[in-house]
Structure 1
Amino acid sequence: MTESATKEVSTMIDANTSLKLTPMLLNGKNYQLWSKWAIISLKGKGKYGHVTGDKNKLATNPEEWEIHDNLIMSWLLNSMEPQISELFMIGAETSAKLWTEIRKMYSKQNNFAHIFQIKHDTAQIKQNQRSITQYFGAMKEKWDELDIHQPDTIDP
């Protein structure tokens, strides 16, 4: 496949406005995991600079930038439960503003109850008839989930 044909196919794939960036929809309770998936997807498509504001409209063709930015907004909105996406439809003029508003609303949620539940579930895991690999896998899954929800600290 020629370089121009590859670029054309890539553009057609990117132009899919019904694309969902994440395997799960943002439901208001799963922001941490949802945002991690969204970042991975956006970085994989070379579009993460739009939501961080690093991809400046003035640095590129403004019309092309706006097309890409609106596409990214549609991907983000399609990756949310309908009642959540409705909250952000009005007022989000750019994908960076949309990303910031989503982060403001959901990233500072009180995760203490969820963290407690993860720790409780972890303590309840028993090896029983599992192999050591299966047992370790179940524990690691909970530890990884805890890493996602537990805020980073600078305490020694």
Structure 2
Amino acid sequence: MSKITLSDMQDPLYLHPSDGQHSVVVDKLTGASNYREWCRSMEVILASKRKLGFVTGLTKKDTTDSVKQEQWETCNSMVIAWLIGSMTPEVKKSVMFLNTASEIWKQLGKRYLQTSGARKYRLNREVYEIKQRGQPISKYYTRIGKPCGEKLRA
């Protein structure tokens, strides 16, 4: 067994034996209401573990060295475990199947970092664009709002 050096421990691909799935403890991300606080807490923790580059995209997967590729995959998986372990089930479901910590980080930022005005505009646009049976949602709801007893046409 080789001796671990300071240089090894400073490498972003190094995982300390105590770096387990539950070694990161922050308040759970619930959504836009606490995203900024959660994000900052995660940045501090990930930086202290030399893993911030996995979410920012600065720590890249080596394309030539298979041992380093495997180390990167292991660290990426651990960072993903830390991220999803610090989310409510609802938030977790929305990012669970993304492949990298960086993809998760970007998706959450895109979703929750918008200002209220921008988020409201995006949501309004999405609702407007929703269609039911090929009809705009406003027409669909007008149609299903007919008095009892009247049959709906498909």
Distance 2:115 2:78 in 1: 28
Tell me which amino acid in the other structure corresponds to 1:33: E
Change (3 A) 1:21 1:109: farther
Picking from 1, 6, 28, the partner of 1:25 is 28
Unaligned runs of 5+ in 1: 112-156
Change (3 A) 1:5 1:49: closer
1:36-51 alignment runs, 5 A limit: 36-51=40-55
TM-score by length of 2: 0.61
Distance 1:37 1:64 in 2: 25
Overall identity of the aligned pairs, in %: 26
Picking from 24, 35, 42, the partner of 2:39 is 35
1:38: Cα distance to partner?
Answer: 0.4
Q: Is the 8 A contact 1:72 1:95 kept in 2?
A: yes
Change (3 A) 1:40 1:5: same
Question: Which residue number corresponds to residue 55 of structure 1?
Answer: 59
Distance 1:21 1:49 in 2: 19
Question: Which residue number corresponds to residue 149 of structure 2?
Answer: none
Is residue 40 of structure 2 the alignment partner of residue 13 of structure 1?
no
Unaligned runs of 5+ in 2: 10-14, 118-154
Distance 1:20 1:82 in 2: 17
| Structure number with larger C-alpha Rg | 2
Question: Which residue number corresponds to residue 145 of structure 1?
Answer: none
Tell me which amino acid in the other structure corresponds to 1:77: I
CA RMSD for the aligned pairs? 2.4
Question: Which residue number corresponds to residue 110 of structure 2?
Answer: 104
- CA deviation map 1:70-89 (0-9, x unaligned): 00000000011111111110
Tell me which amino acid in the other structure corresponds to 1:53: G
Q: Is the 8 A contact 2:24 2:45 kept in 1?
A: no
Question: Which residue number corresponds to residue 81 of structure 1?
Answer: 88
Q: Is the 8 A contact 1:52 1:96 kept in 2?
A: yes
1:18: Cα distance to partner?
Answer: 2.6
TM-score by length of 1: 0.60
Q: Return structure 1 stretches of 4+ with deviation > 6 angstroms.
A: none
Q: Is the 8 A contact 1:25 1:80 kept in 2?
A: yes
Report the number of matched residues: 105
Is residue 10 of structure 2 the alignment partner of residue 4 of structure 1?
no
1:109: Cα distance to partner?
Answer: 4.2
Tell me which amino acid in the other structure corresponds to 2:49: K
